Amino acid sequence: MRSSVLIIGVAIATPLMGTGCSKQVSYSEDVQQVLNEYCVECHDGKGEGSEVSGLVLTNYANVMTGTRFGQVIVPGDSESSTLYRIISGKVSPKIDMPPTSPESLAVGRGHELKASHIATIQKWIDQGALNN
Ligand code: HEC
């Protein structure tokens, strides 16, 4: 009896340690990779995303500068960060980043972010949006 309680305890604790609630997300190793793969094709300073919105996502300084209307990252507060709100679908479905509408996908524009990518970006913002 006693040992089975112990085993259950370990079984619950191990996955929690694995995900490491306090693990620091790295901008250069984690966040920029996602942006490079899913966003930079249009937000590289020349593409349509940066043309229309002014948002360039090629490096930390540009990401923190935001669009021509202002910042899209609020350090420590993902829920107030436009970039997070858009990729997690919390704003108007008309603003769909990266574009995942059938029309966009049909012509090879955009591809859907994985939930894990969205979580990485959320965590990075909530940990202070560091340039690490
Ligand atoms: C296929 C091209 C394309 C891709 C890929 C793309 N975007 Fe965009 N993005 C645009 C266009 C065009 C606009 C301006 C139109 C608009 O605001 O709806 C825009 C605007 C934005 C804005 C500003 C919205 C606002 O109203 O202020 C944000 C933030 C944004 N994109 C984030 C991203 C992120 C993050 C990714 C990657 C996960 C991404 N985009 C991928 C084309 C793209």
pTM over the 0.85 mark:
no
Query: Which whole-number Å values give the CA distances from 84 to 64, 87, 121, in the listed order?
Result: 13, 5, 7
Total domains in the chain come to: 1
Residue nearest to atom 25 of ligand 1 (CA): 53
Q: 74: Cβ–Cβ under 8 A, 6 or more apart, which residues?
A: 80, 81, 125, 129
20 token code pair: 């490491």
Question: Which residue, among 74, 70, 32, 31, has the nearest Cα to 53 in the 3D structure?
Answer: 70
Q: Look at residue 14 and tell me whether its pLDDT is greater than 80.
A: no
Residue-wise pLDDT for 36-52, tens only, equals: 999 998 899 998 889 98
Q: What is the pLDDT of residue 125?
A: 98
Task: Tell me which of 55, 69, 105, 112 to substitute to probe ligand 1's pocket, judged by most ligand atoms within 8 Å of the beta carbon.
Answer: 55
Whether residue 15 lies inside any domain: the answer is: no
Whether residue 5 lies inside any domain: the answer is: no
- Strand pairing partners for 67? 70
Q: 17: Cβ–Cβ under 8 A, 6 or more apart, which residues?
A: none
d(CA 60, CA 8): 43
Q: Return the ligand 1 atom nearest residue 113 CA.
A: 38
Q: What is the pLDDT of residue 16?
A: 47
Whether residue 110 lies inside any domain: the answer is: yes
d(CA 93, CA 104): 14
d(CA 117, CA 50): 21
Residue-wise pLDDT for 60-90, tens only, equals: 999 999 999 999 999 999 999 999 999 998 8
More confident residue, 103 or 47: 47
**Could you tell me the pLDDT band of residue 96, with boundaries at 50, 70 and 90?**
confident
Ramachandran quadrant class, 112 (left: phi over 0; alpha: psi -120 to 50; beta: rest): beta
Averaged pLDDT for residues 14-23? 54
- Whether 130 contacts 74, CB under 8 Å: no
Whether residue 131 lies inside any domain: the answer is: no
CB of 95 closer than 6 A to ligand 1? yes
**Could you tell me the pLDDT band of residue 105, with boundaries at 50, 70 and 90?**
low
Ligand 1 centroid–CA 40 distance in Å is 10
Domain that holds residue 119: 22-126
